């Protein structure tokens, strides 16, 4: 019968060895946390905290696929944005953008999505939120009210207005993000400076597009952009 020798390690030695093995694991865990944090920060616009295009496009499509007809796609455009920079300075223009993004995020909720369109300098936002069919007009009115509240600055209160267009899959007849976004964009333009949000119909979705957007939008080379 063969006997096996058993080596008895001192308890202190075992503890030291386990601690030494845990150090690399802890290091990798900390590195992973930092990496994910930096990745999350890179996906967001530094000024407003809204998602960048490469982040919000796939997330909105995922949201629509998951929630179907209860997914409401929205486009919001700050009215006369250039005047904030010209009349009050770029610091006020930045504050207007940050406040608009924050109000959109509060409205969309924790599971909603808010992105900034047009890259740095853009005054237009896209959002997607869970909104039941029977509450669309109510929720859009709530958002319109929130976005139209004056913004406090170091020089006093500044009035603001944001034109809003929204599109729902069951009304437009599609769950394609780009088509819903175009319909919302067209609805927003139809109600530009009108003070009331516009819920898109199929007529808005059928508008002729250039480069995937309605004529007159940035990148279409088909006319001036509405302020």
Return the pLDDT at 35. 35
- Phi, psi (5° rounding) for residue 156? 120, -170
- Predicted pLDDT at 41: 52
Q: Say how far residue 38 (Cα) sits from the centre of its chain.
A: 18
pLDDT at 167 over 90: yes
Choose between 33 and 142: higher pLDDT: 142
**Could you tell me the pLDDT band of residue 119, with boundaries at 50, 70 and 90?**
low
CB atoms within 10 A of CB 48: 21
DSSP collapsed to 3 states, 193-212? CCCCCEECCHHHHCCCCECC
pLDDT of residue 33: 40
Q: What is residue 14's predicted lDDT score, i.e. its pLDDT?
A: 59
Nearest residue to 126 (alpha-carbon basis) of 168, 167, 75 = 75
How far is residue 76's CA from residue 65's CA, in Å, rounded to a whole number?
22
What per-residue confidence (pLDDT) applies to 96? 96
pLDDT surpassing 60 at residue 111: yes
Distance CA 28, CA 65 (A): 35
Q: How confident is the model at residue 186 (pLDDT cuts 50, 70, 90)?
A: very high
Average the pLDDT over 52-68 and give the result. Answer: 97
Query: Taking 60 as the threshold, does the pLDDT of residue 6 lie above it?
Result: no
pLDDT at 99 over 60: yes
């Amino acid at each position: 019968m063969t006997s096996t020798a058993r080596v008895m390690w001192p308890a202190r030695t075992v503890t030291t060895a386990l601690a030494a093995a845990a150090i690399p694991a802890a290091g990798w865990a900390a590195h992973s946390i930092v990496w994910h944090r930096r990745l999350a920060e890179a996906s967001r616009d530094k000024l407003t905290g809204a998602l960048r295009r490469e982040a919000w496009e796939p997330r909105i499509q995922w949201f629509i696929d998951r929630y179907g007809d209860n997914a409401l796609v929205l486009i919001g455009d700050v009215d006369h944005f250039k005047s904030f920079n010209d009349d009050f300075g770029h610091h006020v223009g930045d504050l207007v953008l940050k406040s608009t993004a924050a109000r959109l995020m509060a409205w969309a909720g924790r599971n909603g999505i808010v992105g900034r369109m047009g890259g740095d300098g853009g005054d237009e936002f896209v959002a997607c939120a869970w909104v039941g069919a029977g509450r669309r007009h109510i929720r859009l009115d709530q958002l319109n009210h929130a976005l139209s509240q004056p913004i406090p600055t170091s020089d006093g209160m500044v009035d603001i207005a944001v034109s809003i267009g929204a599109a729902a899959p069951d009304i437009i007849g599609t769950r394609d993000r780009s088509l819903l976004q175009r319909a919302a964009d067209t609805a927003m333009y139809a109600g530009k400076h009108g003070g009331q949000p516009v819920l898109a119909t199929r007529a808005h979705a059928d508008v002729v597009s250039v480069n995937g957007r309605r004529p007159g939008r940035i990148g279409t080379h088909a006319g001036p952009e509405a302020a």
